[in-house]
Amino acid sequence: MYHILSCEQFSRAELEELFNLTDEIRNNLPAYRTALAGKLVATIFYEPSTRTRLSFEAAVQRLGGCIVSTENAKEMSSVIKGESLPDTIRVIAGYCDAIILRHPDVNSAREAAAVSAVPIINGGSGSGEHPTQALLDVYTIHKHKGAIDGLTVGIMGDLLFGRTVHSLVKLLALYENITVYGLSHDVLSLPEEYVSYLEKRGGRYIPCRSFWEMPQDIDVLYHTRTQTERFQNSDLQVEEFVVDRQVMSYFSPDTILLHPLPRRHEISAEVDADKRALYFQQSHNGMYVRMGLLYNILGKGAEK
């Protein structure tokens, strides 16, 4: 059985294989229409989601599988009656072949995997990780840059609570000669554990205070939303680093701009028409990468 819990579990070779499989499925969709026939996948989301849940559900159905879902598990499942996550997972695992889980606790995916009779896919564990998002992020970078070794990547916004950047840093650490620039408000800087994870594997981390401290020819800019819902102090005001046309004019024609979405005002709508703004392609890619993952976990790929 193959759980997806954290980006720490992947090797470079596995990523390469997944990206090739993703392209193979994407280019031959009719051949995969029944790849998950007879499989039932549960999506159990205790936090809001648009892309992760719907792209997973689209991926399952495009591969011929079926879905059972609770999109608001916090209020619409037995949690409201006091049921624990392990009990909920034990029960749902008896109904289906895999569970995609989003939950506010950092350890939720591991806790679920410890009791589940079927694979658990972490669809976001609090302010911890969001591994499938990072897979689609690196797939998108790979598609546009050809190779990941040697890249310079600027991560921006909420680096403290942003689980997508945590997972992204862990995947980038698999590659050679990676430099990550971090642009955030002081109180939202990248936790030391991710900095040292990268550095231990040969990468460099350079904190910045403005866009202008990042190299103009940086390869990738990856912006994120301030995760205000995770603030202890709801009055805390943080400076936003807004990417607008003027900021984009500082960077090279080859710099690509990504965002896991949803964005608020940290990327102005005027940037959407810029050819370097790839966030909508990125979210579209997510469905195909998730098809690849599901095929590996539940389809023919699981028999290897």
- Closer by beta carbon to ligand NCD, 22 or else 52: 52
Q: Which residues is 68 bridged to in the sheet?
A: 42
Please give the Cα distance from 183 to 80 (Å, whole number).
Answer: 39
- The residues of the shown chain that bind ligand NCD, judged by CB under 6 A, are 51-52, 124, 130, 133, 163-164, 224-225, 260-261
Closest approach, Cβ 128 to ligand NCD, in A, equals 10
- Closer by beta carbon to ligand NCD, 170 or else 225: 225
Nearest to 7 by CA among 18, 35, 43, 183: 18
Closest approach, Cβ 225 to ligand NCD, in A, equals 4
Residue 205 parent element (H or E): strand 204-208
Closest approach, Cβ 8 to ligand NCD, in A, equals 18
CB distance 35 to 97 below 8 Å: no
Instruction: State the DSSP code for 189.
Output: P
- Closer by beta carbon to ligand NCD, 32 or else 279: 279
- Closer by beta carbon to ligand NCD, 164 or else 184: 164
Kindly list the catalytic residues: 51-52, 81, 102, 130
Closest approach, Cβ 103 to ligand NCD, in A, equals 11
CB distance 34 to 64 below 8 Å: yes
Q: Which residues is 40 bridged to in the sheet?
A: 66
Nearest to 207 by CA among 220, 225, 191: 191
Please give the Cα distance from 241 to 15 (Å, whole number).
Answer: 31
